[in-house]
Amino acid sequence: METANIVVIGAGVVGLSIAARLSENNEGIYVLEKNSRTGQEISGHNSGVIHSGIHYPKGTLKARLCVKGNSMLYNLGEKFDIQYKRLGKLTVASGENEIKEIENLYRMGNDNGVEGMKLLNSEEIREMEPNIVAEMALYTPSTGIIEPDDLMHHFYAQISNNGAFVSTQTEVTGIRETNSGYEVSGISSGEKFAFNASTVINSAGLFSDKVAAMAGMDVNELGYSLSYYKGDYFRIAGTPPVKMLVYPVPKGEGLGIHLTPDMAGSVKMGPNAYHVEKIDYTVGSSAEEFRQDVKRFLPSISGRDILEDSSGIRPKLQSVNGSFRDFVIRHEAENGYHGLINLIGIDSPGLTASPAIAEYVSELYENEVKH
């Protein structure tokens, strides 16, 4: 049986970021990934938005790690030539209820330390984005876009440079507590494998509740069970109607169907949010649903061609009456699992937060090692 200091389960943006950070100061790190390539699940199916941090209640991990991750991502982009654009974002509102929501977001952004925000009236909105119609908007200049694949390649390169390993086609199917940590076992390229690891980091995205259950945890009791919410994307054909990101006020499980320019300027619409039982990435919505939804703030969408694009799936922690659920990022010693760090329900803004999550996990790990 092989011996590892730290096993990270899952090579999405979060697992890769954690392994890149921990391998700066630690040896014997292995990242195990069930797919034949890294970043093929949530991290390969998202909007690529660098969020500012206006959507999350003060003091939560989502708020703190998003705001910190935002500036860390811009610094990484600058330093390592990862494609990014600081485009700015308008969150638009019309009608009394939506305007109240915008004022809430402004307050939350202030609480979270989001810099440079401004409330705009309809004329100021038109000056910034002539095709957008709304009574009020919140402008957040620190919102941008990044190429998720470039970011993951960067973390992968750091991992290799630091002497750690990523093993693809390696699915973990069992985790058993031992005297010195955990035996992590499964199938790698068709062969059985087993590792003895002092620390296990569960960063398995959509499957992270199942991985926690493998270790023997009662995921229902702990509130770790995930359900899946798919989000589809469509693309607006032809000349881009906007230059910056344009969002409605959030409703339901997502942030509302929004407009996101990509690196080339072409504009994607989405994602929406609907519950699914299975993980498959086929687009299940119609272009017409998207047209009707976006028409409220982009009337010219009526005359435009809309092309089907892609979809992604969110790992949602269950909540009572849709109340806010924070990321679960926890060293499980208090639940009797020394050396097990769980990351569960890492939905949006997980991409933005990924370098800050890595720092946070590194602190949890160092604290555990000292005790």
Binding site for ligand FAD (CB under 6 A): 9-15, 32-35, 40-43, 45-49, 51, 171-172, 203-207, 211, 231, 271, 312-314, 346-352
- Biggest CA–CA distance in the chain, Å, is 67
How far apart are CB 56 and ligand FAD at their closest, in Å? 11
If the CB atoms of residues 23 and 348 are measured against ligand FAD, the closer one turns out to be 348
Q: Kindly tell me which of 125 and 313 has the beta carbon lying closer to ligand FAD.
A: 313
56 or 136: CB nearest ligand FAD: 56
Helix (H) or strand (E) holding 184: strand 181-188
* CB of 17 vs ligand FAD, minimal distance in Å: 8
Type and span of the H or E element at 119: strand 118-121
Closest-by-Cβ residue to ligand FAD is: 350
Residue 4 beta carbon to ligand FAD: minimum distance, rounded to whole angstroms:
14
Provide the 8-state DSSP code for 106: H
CB atoms within 10 A of CB 75: 11
Q: How far is the CB of 343 from ligand FAD (least distance, A)?
A: 6
User: Helices 13-22 and 148-161: crossing angle, nearest 10°?
Assistant: 30
- Cα(260)–Cα(123) distance, rounded to whole angstroms? 22
Backbone angles phi, psi at 331, to 5 degrees: -80, 125
Closest to ligand FAD by CB, 136 or 207: 207
Cβ 28 to ligand FAD shortest distance, Å: 18
Cα separation, 172 vs 99, in Å, equals 48
CB atoms within 10 A of CB 239: 9
Phi, psi (deg, nearest 5) at residue 194 = -150, 140
| Rounded least distance, CB 170 to ligand FAD, Å | 6
Nearest distance from C-beta of residue 315 to ligand FAD, angstroms? 8
Q: Which is nearer to ligand FAD, 132 or 172 (CB)?
A: 172
Q: Which is nearer to ligand FAD, 134 or 358 (CB)?
A: 358
Q: Which is nearer to ligand FAD, 26 or 354 (CB)?
A: 354
For residue 37, with 0-12 CB atoms within 10 Å meaning exposed, 13-18 middle and 19 or more buried, which class applies? Answer: exposed
Tokens of 159: 């991992």
